[in-house]
């Protein structure tokens, strides 16, 4: 089947089979590899994207469900010249080690700060509870969230 969708502001079409996830469509068909494929069970958050402004695990969304909808991936957050403020905060706070979790975390933090520009500690922890990081111990990630919120 063929679907039409908007990705990072660009109207696109994609051919897919009925059981294909949005994550696979983004990575394999539309050549946007920023969203990472890790657990494929909605447990780790590495594939997080915004679907019509709502944070979703793209591995749990069928590609066909994106027909007519708007998707924003990590590739769509930054401007042409500058990093997104959340990306910059991750760099400045040293919140990236292997980086595999980083795209999903950045999308989740951008979503959090859009909804709540100055989140409390519990709010930050709850917002990131669906994003697993195997490297950092999370302290630097929380520092990055606070830094991005301070700069907003």
What distance in Å separates the CA atoms of residue 69 and residue 112, rounded to the nearest whole number?
Answer: 21
136 binds ligand FES per the rule CB under 6 A = yes
Q: How far is the CB of 38 from ligand FES (least distance, A)?
A: 9
- Nearest distance from residue 78's CB to ligand FES, in Å? 19
* Closer residue to ligand FES (CB): 91 or 152: 91
Cα-to-chain-centroid distance, residue 118: 20
135 binds ligand FES (CB under 6 A): yes
- Least separation in angstroms between residue 22's CB and ligand FES is 22
Exposure b/e, 60-70, CB count within 10 A at least 16 = b: ebbbbebeeeb
Q: Using CA atoms, how far apart are residues 130 and 44, in angstroms rounded to an integer?
A: 6
Binding footprint of ligand FES, residue count (CB under 6 A): 10
137 lies in the site for ligand FES, by CB under 6 A: no
Touching ligand FES, residues 104-133 (CB under 6 A): 133
In the beta sheet, which residues pair with residue 5?
A: 12
Q: How far is the CB of 138 from ligand FES (least distance, A)?
A: 9
Q: Does 138 bind ligand FES (CB under 6 A)?
A: no
Give residues with Cβ within 8 angstroms of 57, minimum separation 6: 23, 42, 45, 47, 48, 130
Under 8 Å CB-to-CB from 10, ≥6 apart: which residues?
Answer: none
Residues numbered 86-105 forming contacts with ligand FES, rule: CB under 6 A = 96-101
CA 75 and chain centroid, separation: 9
Binding site for ligand FES (CB under 6 A): 96-101, 133-136
């Amino acid at each position: 089947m063929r679907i039409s969708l908007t990705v990072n502001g660009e109207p696109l079409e994609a051919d897919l089979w009925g059981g294909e996830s949005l994550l696979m469509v983004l990575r394999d068909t539309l050549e946007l590899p920023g969203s990472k494929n890790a657990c494929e069970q909605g447990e780790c958050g590495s594939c997080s994207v915004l679907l019509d402004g709502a944070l979703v695990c793209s591995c749990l969304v069928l590609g066909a469900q994106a027909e007519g909808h708007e998707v924003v991936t990590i590739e769509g957050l930054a401007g042409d010249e500058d990093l997104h403020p959340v990306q910059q905060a991750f760099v400045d706070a040293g919140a990236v080690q292997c980086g595999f979790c980083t795209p999903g975390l950045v999308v989740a933090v951008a979503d959090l700060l859009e909804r709540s520009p100055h989140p409390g500690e519990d709010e930050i922890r709850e917002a990131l509870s669906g994003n697993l990081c195997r490297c950092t111990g999370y302290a630097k990630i929380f520092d990055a969230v606070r830094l991005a919120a301070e700069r907003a």
